[in-house]
């Protein structure tokens, strides 16, 4: 790439039109946001196609596009394990947790923890989520986007690019809340998939076709199941760490779950989740394997994070580059808008409304808008600091592996064991966080090494779960014979819940039965994993 911009006038025009149209649509939706339910949960009126596409658009950020292609280039396609596992995790979510979340009518997942345990767990979880929203989700997305656009506009400083990206998503998010975010995400998901398909076709075409890429690539680079001593993604981490991190991300992370909370019914919530799981399967061909084709096209790149920009700017003709960059921008804006909106929801509902419970609807919405602006500023300041870390993808996954195990333990144990109590939950959350932070500093920050982060995650989950069980049994609420609180007991899954649901589903056509659809998704996933085992 030379010192000038690789974008032609048509490319720039396409990008500008996209930005103007998306912001205009978002602002148009904002006119209808009058109540807290409107602003934070999009009227609770969303149907399954919108939910599924919004989940995909929220998940596929700039870090995903750059990270997947780069990881495939550096280490092979095993990075796709994070993607296909999403479908399995979402099936679990649909069966066990989603009905409780929707029936309780909560605005946030930390609010659900308060219903199950007490306010201490809610505030701890909300605070942790806010930190991860800024330090991991939003900042990572903005930094990944800035890497790409700095190549497109080399004369513009990274800080300015980050600011413009944040403003682009923040304008309509601040005005329109979740409804504006989900409407724009639906459009962005279609554009994102279209752009990814264009890159995939061009990459394989220029590399000599599918057979040529497969023949020239080492077998281990095309394997989803790696040896136990693999430094990137050992199979032991695949069966333990990946599902646990996936459970946090898809089942408890506010910026994903909030889309499901907007569902008009439990059925639409479930169908939307399963649709999102289905949409994750083509990611292997659209976003991962083009990174493998890049081994033939661009051998010797200094780092994998340059693969995706190279595919865009070196392969595509003028005009098409604009379409693909607009798709990349769609990924940035949708993911950024998602995290801004979820963070503002957490601040408003988990902190402000608790402190001032009599605030009116308009003031709650105003608070959410002010919180969005504040998080925009924080993300813009932090995003450039991610350059201090190595691989963007490793940065994201490693932080989650050390930070979220207590959350996973509280949800999983509390979902299936009624005697888990508030005191045990607080002890497990505080103790698990302290242990995770200490190990992160020792192993990652100070560089002393240790188990793979995917193996560290299950250890920390087990440690947190053990604290929860021991403290619950040692305190009055959890002793044998003691009864859990009425509200907490109502949020514990039992076989009776399954039997009651079976009766409800008996009159439903098979094509609408989420259990049948779940089996279909698991079957398709198994076929794909076996093919690339």
pLDDT along the chain (533 residues), means of 10: 68 88 81 69 88 90 83 94 96 97 93 94 93 78 80 83 83 76 84 91 95 94 94 93 95 92 96 97 96 94 87 86 84 81 89 86 84 84 68 63 95 95 95 94 82 93 97 74 65 93 90 96 98 94
In CATH, 7-32+45-530 is 1.20.1730.10: yes
Question: Which residues lie below 8 Å from residue 38, measured CB to CB, with a gap of 6+?
Answer: 32, 177, 179, 365
Side-chain-side CA neighbours of 213 within 13 Å: the count stands at 28
- DSSP secondary structure, 246-304, as one string: HHIIIII-HHHHHHHHTBSSHHHHHHHHHHHHHHHTTHIIIIIHHHHHHHHHSTT-S-G
- pLDDT for residue 2: 45
Q: How far is CA 10 from the centre of its chain?
A: 33
Helix, strand, coil shares, percent, the chain, to 5: 80, 0, 20
Grouping H, G, I as helix, E, B as strand and the rest as coil, residue 226 is strand
Three-class secondary structure assignment of 378-407: HHHHHHHHHHHCCCHHHHHHHHHHHHCHHH
3-class state of residue 233 by DSSP: coil
Q: In whole angstroms, how far apart are CA 233 and each of 36, 228, 229, 230, 465?
A: 42, 8, 9, 6, 24
d(CA 166, CA 158): 12
């Amino acid at each position: 790439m030379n010192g000038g911009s690789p974008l032609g006038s048509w490319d720039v025009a396409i990008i500008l039109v996209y930005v103007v149209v998306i912001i205009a649509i978002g602002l148009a939706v904002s006119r209808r946001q009058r109540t807290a339910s409107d602003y934070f949960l999009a009227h609770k009126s969303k149907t399954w196609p919108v939910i599924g596409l919004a989940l995909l658009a929220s998940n596929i950020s700039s870090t995903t596009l750059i990270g997947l292609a780069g990881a495939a280039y550096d280490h092979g396609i095993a990075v796709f394990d994070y993607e296909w596992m999403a479908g399995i995790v979402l099936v679990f979510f649909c069966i066990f947790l989603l009905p409780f979340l929707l029936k309780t009518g909560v605005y946030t997942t930390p609010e659900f923890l308060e219903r199950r345990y007490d306010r201490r767990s809610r505030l701890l979880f909300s605070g942790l989520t806010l930190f991860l929203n800024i330090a991991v989700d939003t900042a990572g997305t903005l930094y990944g986007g800035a890497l790409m656009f700095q190549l497109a506009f080399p004369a513009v400083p990274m800080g300015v690019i980050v600011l413009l990206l944040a403003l682009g998503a923040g304008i309509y998010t601040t005005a329109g809340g979740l409804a504006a975010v989900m409407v724009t995400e639906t459009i962005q998901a279609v554009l994102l998939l279209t752009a990814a398909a264009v890159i995939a076709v061009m990459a394989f075409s220029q590399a000599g076709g599918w057979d040529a890429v497969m023949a020239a690539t080492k077998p281990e680079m095309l394997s989803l199941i790696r040896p136990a001593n693999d430094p990137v993604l050992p199979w032991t981490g695949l069966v333990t760490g990946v599902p646990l991190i996936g459970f946090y991300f898809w089942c408890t992370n506010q910026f994903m779950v909030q889309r499901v909370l907007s569902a008009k019914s439990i059925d639409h919530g479930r169908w939307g989740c399963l649709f999102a799981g289905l949409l994750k399967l083509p990611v292997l061909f659209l976003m991962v394997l083009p990174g493998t084709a890049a081994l033939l096209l661009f051998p010797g790149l200094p780092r994998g994070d340059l693969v995706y920009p190279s595919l865009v700017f070196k392969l595509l003709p003028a005009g098409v580059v604009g379409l693909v960059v607009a798709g990349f921008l769609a990924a940035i804006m949708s993911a950024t808008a998602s995290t801004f909106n979820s963070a503002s929801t957490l601040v408003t509902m988990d902190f402000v409304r608790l402190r001032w419970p009599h605030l009116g609807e308009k003031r709650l919405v105003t608070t959410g808008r002010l919180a969005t602006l504040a998080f925009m500023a924080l993300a813009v300041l932090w995003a450039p600091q991610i350059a201090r870390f190595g691989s963007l993808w490793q940065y994201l996954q490693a932080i989650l592996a050390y930070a979220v195990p207590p959350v996973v333990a509280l949800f999983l144990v509390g979902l299936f064991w009624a005697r888990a109590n508030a005191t045990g939950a607080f002890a497990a959350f505080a103790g698990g966080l302290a242990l995770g932070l200490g190990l992160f500093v020792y192993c990652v920050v100070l560089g002393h090494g240790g188990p793979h982060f995917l193996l560290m995650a299950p250890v920390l989950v087990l440690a947190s779960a053990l604290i929860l069980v021991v403290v619950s049994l040692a305190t009055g609420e959890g002793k044998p014979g003691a009864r859990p609180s009425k509200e907490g007991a109502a949020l514990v899954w039992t076989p009776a819940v399954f039997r009651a649901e079976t009766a409800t589903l008996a009159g439903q056509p098979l094509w609408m039965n989420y259990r049948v659809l779940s089996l279909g998704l698991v079957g398709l996933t198994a076929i794909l994993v076996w093919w690339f085992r």
